[in-house]
Structure 1
Amino acid sequence: MALPTLLDIEASGFGRGSYPIEIGIARADGSCCAFLIQPLEEWTHWDAKAELLHGISRARLEREGYPLRHVARWLNDELHEIGIAYSDSWGYDNTWLSLLFHHAGMLPAFRLEALRRLLNEEQMAMWSDVKESTIDRGNIRRHRAGDDARLLQLTYARTLELTASND
């Protein structure tokens, strides 16, 4: 079964002034990859509660993060052929992705769509329970972009299996 490519973004916080700090994807073959993003000097918003969730400090981003153009180029290289990736938090992720590409001076070579567009009513109804059981069964580190993208992909695959077995 070919899986959809999932994209997840961790951020400095939520709302006005927030920015992407890590972008990860889970590829159709199930492999995943993520990059920390070096914040621009003018990106000053930092939410300590968000840091508690993802465990990434601003100092670490400044030390280990990749420049925006590098991350934008990587995303385009990864996603231009398939042309689409899916997100469970489209409103936030699309905003942060647009911010990344704008400041990188590039255009995305793919589009980001809401994951719910792939789900039927039965899948949506079971999503939360299946996601929680996937977390419990797997060794998934939450609130890191690559692992969260993979969690979404595994949850999608499991809901697809369960709905197929109900037919």
Structure 2
Amino acid sequence: MHRPAIPYIIDVEASGFGGTSYPIEIGVALDGGRRFCTLIKPAPSWTFWSEQAESVHGISRQQLATFGKPVPEVAALLNDMLAGYTLYTDGWVVDKPWLITLFHEAGQDMQFRVSMLDMILSEPQMALWHATKRQVQKEAHLVRHRASHDAWLVQETYRRTAALGAAARGTGAG
């Protein structure tokens, strides 16, 4: 396994915002512009639904029932694709528990790690982060709040802030 030059980013959309919510979509930004995204068919015991969350991500229960993959299949796909890697998220406090919920329900061990994005950001990147992310959003014309878009947005912001931070260090600024 190689270590990617740009970190792999994972994002999770969920049925709501509280402790009884569960994952409904997983998006991953990989290397070379590759992306992975899948909807998740809720397990029978996953019943909580927030209309407010649906208004943010735009995914309906009907879409999940029609197009979602079963929980064990999603967990297996993620493990097959990501085993041994560390993925990063800007929403660790919610994404990590939702991934734990997914793998627990699937009865599988997660074979990759998930860490906070802040762990790999330099101070120059942090200083540039919000303005750069807004610029990337504007250029990409992203209108849907979906997992693969969000993962790509974070990865592209990381890439640009790393380059800008390196350039600033090279000129003596920063």
Please indicate the TM-score interval, normalised by the length of the shorter structure: over 0.9
- 2:58·2:144 contact (CA, 8 Å) conserved in 1? no
Match of 1:123 among 119, 122, 125: 125
Distance 1:4 1:112 in 2: 11
- 1:9·1:20 contact (CA, 8 Å) conserved in 2? yes
Q: Offset of 1:49 from its aligned partner?
A: 1.1
**Could you say which structure has the larger radius of gyration?**
2
Partner of 2:67: 64
- 2:14·2:24 contact (CA, 8 Å) conserved in 1? yes
Match of 1:102 among 85, 104, 108: 104
Partner of 1:37: 40
Distance 1:162 1:14 in 2: 34
Q: Offset of 1:141 from its aligned partner?
A: 4.2
Distance 2:108 2:74 in 1: 11
Look up the equivalent residue of 2:23 and give its one-letter code.
P
- 1:10·1:20 contact (CA, 8 Å) conserved in 2? yes
- 1:141·1:148 contact (CA, 8 Å) conserved in 2? no
Over residues 49-90 of structure 1, what are the superposed CA-to-partner deviations in whole Å (9 max), with x where a residue is unaligned?
111111100111011100011110111011114x21111110
Distance 1:158 1:28 in 2: 15
Partner of 2:156: 154
Distance 1:69 1:98 in 2: 13
Distance 1:117 1:163 in 2: 16
Q: Offset of 1:16 from its aligned partner?
A: 1.8
Partner of 1:88: 90
Q: Offset of 1:140 from its aligned partner?
A: 2.8
Match of 1:18 among 15, 18, 21: 21
**Bigger mean CA offset, 141-150 vs 15-24:** 141-150
Distance 1:127 1:112 in 2: 20
Equivalent pairs, count: 166
Give aligned-pair identity as a percent: 45
Over residues 133-163 of structure 1, what are the superposed CA-to-partner deviations in whole Å (9 max), with x where a residue is unaligned?
1000114344211111000000000101111
Distance 2:139 2:165 in 1: 20
Stretches of structure 1 lacking an aligned partner (at least 5 in a row): none
Give the ranges of 4+ consecutive aligned residues of structure 1 lying more than 6 Å apart after TM superposition: none
RMSD over aligned CA atoms reads 1.2
Partner of 2:172: none
Q: Offset of 1:165 from its aligned partner?
A: 1.0
Distance 2:117 2:164 in 1: 18
DSSP-derived class of the 1:29 partner: helix
TM-score, structure 1 normalization: 0.95
Stretches of structure 2 lacking an aligned partner (at least 5 in a row): 170-174
- 1:22·1:35 contact (CA, 8 Å) conserved in 2? yes
Distance 2:19 2:163 in 1: 39
